[in-house]
Amino acid sequence: MVNQDVWDSAVLKKLELPGQVIVKNRIWRAATWMGMANPDGTINDTLIETYSKIKAGLVFTGFQYVSPEGKALPGQISNSKPEDFKGLKRLADAIHSTGSLAGAQLVHCGKSANPRYWEGETAFGPSDVEVQSPPGGKLKVKAMTIEQIDGVTQAYAEGAKRAVDAGFDAINIHGAHGYQLWQFFDPALNKRPADDPYTGITLEGRSKAMIEAILAVKNVVDVPVFVKVNSSSNGTKPEEVGELVKKISNSGACLAIISGSNATRNPKEVGEAYFLEEAKVIKETVGDT
């Protein structure tokens, strides 16, 4: 039996998001990878059955890759081509069947993507680097050209529109965990020079790819847009993330999800509310934006 304190708490109260989207409570399913999609990223009955059993105010899918060369993991959902629409609609309908709102998380994994999934020779990121590639090998990562960055930005917009047309109620842009958008923001990963518009030297240059992705998505959909960011990383501090969140807010996103870790390691010990202290610093930096 639920006690009165829980019923009276904010957790079970409605929340109105931009666009008059009403979420019936504050219990949301986080966007975590399940690894259940078909090898080509298409939706199958197992995914449909799984999501049809999740009941919450808002249910986010695991990250959907918006471009073939942005796929990192097996069983990752594809939202990279028109043919994906039918499966995405089935997925949105399954989530709605429980009375939940449906949110689609979109990602390009950048240097953390795995070329074997698109029969490529290399992954692409902000800079030329070598990364660990199991078992025990190394993978060369090529710096993205301006044209490639523009292409990924457009892919985010196309993926968002496809998801919304399929029935999703919100978009969650994955700008954390060492994936493409965070790679550009983290100066430890972004070594582009001062004369590059996406330079890793200035906050403006580091933020540019993420902000452009948000603006591109906002330009084609009229639903709430969330952005997941790291609370910090090897190359950033929470205060800098706070400055990034200001830009995210000014670009039209309604909420920043504070997270952490990267694709290869998580040095932080897990406990309850384990990004709370960083989130406090970020909120203080952001102020009333």
Per-residue pLDDT of the chain (289 residues; tens, 9 = 90+): 556 666 677 888 999 998 889 999 999 999 999 999 999 999 999 999 999 999 999 999 999 999 999 999 999 999 999 999 999 999 999 999 999 999 999 999 999 999 989 888 899 999 998 877 655 567 789 999 999 999 999 999 999 999 999 999 999 999 999 999 999 999 999 999 999 999 999 999 999 999 999 999 999 999 999 999 999 887 889 999 999 999 999 999 999 999 987 544 455 566 677 788 888 988 999 987 6
* Dist CA 173 CA 29 (whole Å): 15
* Dist CA 207 CA 250 (whole Å): 12
Q: Burial level of 115, CB count in 10 A (0-12/13-18/19+)? A: middle
Q: What is the DSSP secondary-structure string of 237-275?
A: -HHHHHHHHHHHHHTT-SEEEEE---SS---SPP-TTTT
Fold for domain 28-286?
TIM Barrel (3.20.20)
* Cβ–Cβ < 8 Å for 77, 61: yes
In angstroms, the Cα distances linking 48 to 34, 91, 93, 167 are: 12, 6, 9, 15
Task: Sketch the domain layout of the chain as residue ranges.
Answer: 28-286
179 is a catalytic site residue: yes
Of 156, 179, 198, 274, catalytic: 179
**227: which strand partners?**
173, 256
Dmax (CA) of the chain: 62
